[in-house]
Structure 1
Amino acid sequence: MPPIGEDPYDPKRTGSWLICTACGTQFPTADRQKRTTCKICDDPRQFTPPTGQAFTTLDEIRSYAKNTFTPFPCDDRFISIVTEPKVAIGQRAILIKHPKGNVLWDCITLIDDETIEKIKAMGGLKAIMISHPHYYTTNVEWARAFDCPVYITWQDKQWRTQHSEYHNVFHQIESDLLIDYEPSDIKVLQLGGHFAGSCVLLYDGRLLIADTLVTTPAGLGSWDTDALGNARIEPGGAGNSYAFMYSIPNMLPLSASTMQKMWDILKKYEFRSTHGAFLNTDIVKTAPEMKRRVLDSMQLQAHSMESGDYPFRHENLD
């Protein structure tokens, strides 16, 4: 049963509510006179398109788009859910098959009967965890459809466009994700940076990073050999796998002091792969190399900005 005071899932009731075409966030009104701007896109971390603010609806998106499900090649317990054709930012949600119940990492705007039926056939959802406000999208609709809590951080709760009894606001920097309201072996780490409460999720060596760490083209390339099979550079050496950004579309980097705070948390954990906000942003290596890549990338960014003498700039995992 839904929480007291919470409306049940009803796609006919909310299908005409306005959705920002730039970020995919839903607002609880169908009145285009009352809603003319999107506070998420007015923020410097996002943007209003040159053509101006525009809105769509779930009814409209459902008429032309569908969600596709793609298991990770390295681990079929993780399934990417992506809308085609692209809607708004175009990020993926990631369904995690866990023994205690399925978890959804991040949200996408489109939720429809086909998506609900497919996920329920896999066991439904016991929890939704959202990394940061750019992916809040239609999270209340998802919570109503699966009757499960949505976990968001207290630092970012002000970015909600809808308040819901399904929202569970937590304060811990390093915490065990609750599945069916019980602690699990999934870790949620609030690294901050992109947003004050920006999170990553760690489960069995797989680090889901959303935009908290931004996977770069260099990180997806081959660092091991050239076209002739000759060694190129030492693993993790002189390369960049991640950028650390206040704003990705507006290209505003984070400071070295912020990266230091992020590293102080993340360096305590082991992970053998990272999985970014979009399809094909997966890096799968050994645990030592993965951590080295994060540190190398932070050091390179700090060096390029001629930042101060922070401790992480002198660390060496070898």
Structure 2
Amino acid sequence: MAFTAEPYDPATAATWLLCVTCGTQFPTADRDAVKSCHICDDPRQFVPASGQSFTTLGEVQKTHSNEFVPCASDPRITFISTTPKLSIGQRAMLIQTPAGNILWDCISLLDGETIAKIEAVGGLKAIVISHPHFYSTHVQWARAFKCPVYLASEDKSWATMDSGHQVLLTEPETEIEGTGIKAIKLGGHFPGSMVMLFDRHLLIADTLMTTFSGVGKWDTDAVGAARERPPGLNSFSFLYSIPNFIPLSVQEMARMWDTLRQYEFQETHGGFAGMDIVDVNVKQRVLDSMHIQAKHMGYGEHEFMKVKL
């Protein structure tokens, strides 16, 4: 889809304010002009006990760096995360395809080393962002790599700036730049919250929130003997607010499943390090997790509980 390229000005970008809590960049260096973050003031986010504060991309570049970690199950995927942890702490995912590289989600830290590493493997053909909590410095990334950045049209109002690089997705499903990769709107966390399907991989951000029991290792006991995963464990939670523990309704989960059931996948990759599930039965685990949440919210007799894969 068409976009309008804009010049990348790293010197100016380094002076612009970043919310310390969520990592969103505001297009100004004037601390009197931005005294609060509308993303953190929303019920899905929070302002910490220490209060609202801002830093700059330039300051973060002095103290942080980005790590590139190959996906253990598929070398075509590389996880990019910032160390030490910055703001929300999400990871971006670089997906390499014969038709070009796609970046799934975005992190706030952009520096020369990061640009050089990505350019060395072919640069970026496009960026796709799951939801507003990960908008971060997406305009700077798009300018630096001279590529479009795809956002759900439903969530554009959360962006802190307009850019010709932004391409708004209006359809439930969009193939990205001829790569065969699909951006799929599920909603839930935000009206336009997306997942992305790449071959057998479903990149889920926190549209589906991977749980501790989802990545727990139950295939052996304490002495190494084989055993089966215990029944009744969830693998995902479905939340309106992750940090504030506000669940989605059973009606919303059912609507999300009506979309997701159309797609096949054998792996899920969440928005944070360690949130990877490789299991040919992971799609069933998504539905089981929805049923577990619905049951414990008091909807054990709801029609959705009868839905099968």
Shorter-chain-normalised TM-score: which range? over 0.9
Match of 1:259 in 2: 253
**CA apart distance, 1:312:** 3.1
Residue 231 of structure 1 is matched in structure 2 by: 227
With 7-16 and 304-313 compared, the bigger mean Cα shift is at: 304-313
Letter in 2 for 1:231: R
Aligned-partner Cα distance in 1 for 2:285–2:155: 28
Q: Which amino acid aligns with 2:138?
A: N
Alignment partner of 1:184: what SS? coil
Partner residue in 2 for 1:218? 213
Residues paired across the two proteins, number: 307
Post-superposition Cα deviations, 1:134-175, rounded to whole Å, max 9, x if no partner, equal: 000000000000000000011100000010000000111122
Query: Quick check: 1:126 aligned with 2:125?
Result: yes
Equivalences for residues 1-318 of structure 1 within 5 A: 7-177=6-176, 179=177, 183-228=178-223, 229-233=225-229, 237-286=231-280, 289-307=281-299, 309-317=301-309
Instruction: For structure 2, list consecutive stretches of 5 or more residues without a partner in the other structure.
Output: none
- Measured on the aligned residues, the alpha-carbon RMSD in Å equals 1.5
CA distance in 2, matches of 1:51, 1:203: 40
- Residues of 1 paired with 2:299 and 2:46: CA distance? 27
Structure 1 CA distance for aligned equivalents of residues 89 and 167 of structure 2? 25
What letter is aligned with 1:269? Y
Partner SS, residue 26 of structure 2: coil
TM-score by length of structure 1 reads: 0.93
4+ residue runs over 4 A deviation: none
TM-superposed deviation, 1:273: 0.4
How much does 1:7 deviate? 4.0
Q: Using the alignment, how far apart are the partners of 2:171 and 2:222 within structure 1?
A: 47
Q: Which amino acid aligns with 2:212?
A: P
Distance in 2, matches of 1:50 and 1:100, equals 46
CA distance in 2, matches of 1:124, 1:233: 41
Q: Distance in 2 between matches of 1:140 and 1:32?
A: 20
Amino acid at match of 2:268: T
Q: Which amino acid aligns with 1:54?
A: S
Q: Which runs of 5+ in 1 are unaligned?
A: none
Asked whether the equivalents of residues 245 and 254 of structure 1 are also in contact (C-alpha less than 8 Å), the reply is yes
